[in-house]
């Protein structure tokens, strides 16, 4: 409860204070809107589950078109279970822009006028990063990952016969994990913009950041193998280095704005 109070105090508008229960009501409305949008998107994706399944099969078809016929369904309800799983992840991707918008609406009272103007661009940038990560995983990394596991199994004289549940679980979690990993630049820019860290600090703590990135990659990677781990950790660290350059630009611009116009209200 103490954490919740601090969270709700963060969004307090000092000019128009609101009771604690009103903050809770706003939080409840935000969560309801998020849940409704997510459910609707999941149901929409479920209505097109056949096309969605074919879309997720394309990386495997590019590897070996005969592999599709060898995907095995071992569970009686696999067709429904896997369909709901695919629909949930696809619905999450489609609902992501609106979820960010609802979250932004909730924290708006805590923002300054200048920060409020940046809310929509930040939400759009957040969505773009997520979709970029998902597309990067689907078009670039996933085909090579599947080929690696296929060849690795063959090198051990095994016949790589994958089940439907295992394949779609791996593919969906792989794509979502990369989408989340690509949110790293926004997180870094946010903490720099808030003044929590400086660009100089980011440069000095590269070694520590690398360790944190490796830990995050180990947590969100869909499989525990080293190949997938480094496929995720590599782009994340490259993004971190890009963040330092972008953050340096943002820091210089903020310094110029303060020198010209004074601190923001």
Nearest to 107 by CA among 212, 13, 202, 236: 13
Phi first, then psi: give them for residue 163, nearest 5 degrees. -85, 160
pLDDT tens digits, 18-33: 666 666 787 888 899 9
**Predicted local confidence at residue 50, as pLDDT:** 92
pLDDT at 188: 76
CB 128 within 8 A of CB 165: no
DSSP state, 162? Answer: -
**Dihedral, 129, 120, 39, 7 alpha carbons, nearest 10:** 100
Q: How confident is residue 3, by pLDDT bands cut at 50, 70 and 90?
A: very low
Both tokens assigned to 226: 């080293």
Give the model's pLDDT for residue 218: 80
Number of Cβ within 10 Å of residue 75's Cβ equals: 13
pLDDT digits (tens, 9 = 90+) for 79-131: 899 999 999 999 998 998 888 888 877 877 666 676 667 677 777 888 888 88
Do residues 46 and 79 touch, judged by C-beta distance below 8 A? no
Distance CA 72, CA 50 (A): 16
Q: What is the pTM of this model?
A: 0.74
161 Rama sector, left if φ>0, alpha if ψ -120 to 50, beta otherwise = beta
Identify whether the C-beta of residue 12 lies closer than 8 Å to the C-beta of residue 109: yes
What does the alpha-carbon distance between residue 181 and residue 233 come to, in Å, rounded to a whole number?
A: 9
33-84 per-position pLDDT tens digit: 999 999 999 999 999 999 999 999 988 887 777 777 778 888 888 889 999 9
Question: Coil, strand or helix: which one is 79?
Answer: helix
183 or 5, which is more confident?
183
* The pLDDT of residue 242: 83
Residue located via tokens 């340096």:
248
What pLDDT is recorded for position 32?
A: 93
Residue 194 confidence (pLDDT): 66
Closest-CA residue to 10 (of 251, 62, 20): 20
Percent of the chain with pLDDT over 90: 15
Overall average pLDDT of the 197-201 stretch: 80
| Per-residue confidence band for 8, with pLDDT thresholds at 50, 70 and 90 | very low
Cα 10 to Cα 21, 29, 110, 114, 195, distances in angstroms: 14, 17, 6, 17, 16
Q: 199 or 53: which carries more pLDDT confidence?
A: 53
* pLDDT of 2 above 70: no
Inter-residue contact 129 to 183 (CB < 8 Å): yes
């Amino acid at each position: 409860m103490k954490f919740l109070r601090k969270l709700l105090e963060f969004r307090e508008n000092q000019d128009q204070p609101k009771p604690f229960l009103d903050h809770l009501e706003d939080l409840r409305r935000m969560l309801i809107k998020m849940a409704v949008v997510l459910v609707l998107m999941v149901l929409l994706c479920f209505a097109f589950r056949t096309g969605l399944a074919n879309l997720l099969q394309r990386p495997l078809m590019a590897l070996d078109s005969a592999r599709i016929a060898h995907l095995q369904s071992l569970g009686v309800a696999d067709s429904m279970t896997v369909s709901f799983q695919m629909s949930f992840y696809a619905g999450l991707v489609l609902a992501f822009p609106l979820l960010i918008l609802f979250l932004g609406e909730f924290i708006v009272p805590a923002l300054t006028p200048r920060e409020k103007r940046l809310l929509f661009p930040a939400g759009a940038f957040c969505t773009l990063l997520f979709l970029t990560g998902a597309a990067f995983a689907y078009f670039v990394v996933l085909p090579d990952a599947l080929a690696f596991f296929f060849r690795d199994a063959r090198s051990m004289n095994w016949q790589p016969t994958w089940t439907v549940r295992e394949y779609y679980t791996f593919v969906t979690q792989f794509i979502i994990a990369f989408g989340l990993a690509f949110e790293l630049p926004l997180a870094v820019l946010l903490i720099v913009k808030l003044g929590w860290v400086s660009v100089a600090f980011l440069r000095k703590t590269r070694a520590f950041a690398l360790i944190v990135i490796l830990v995050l990659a180990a947590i969100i990677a869909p499989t525990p193998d080293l190949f997938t781990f480094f496929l995720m950790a590599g782009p994340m660290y490259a993004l971190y280095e890009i963040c330092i350059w972008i953050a340096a630009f943002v820091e210089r611009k903020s310094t110029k704005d303060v020198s010209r116009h004074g601190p923001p209200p």
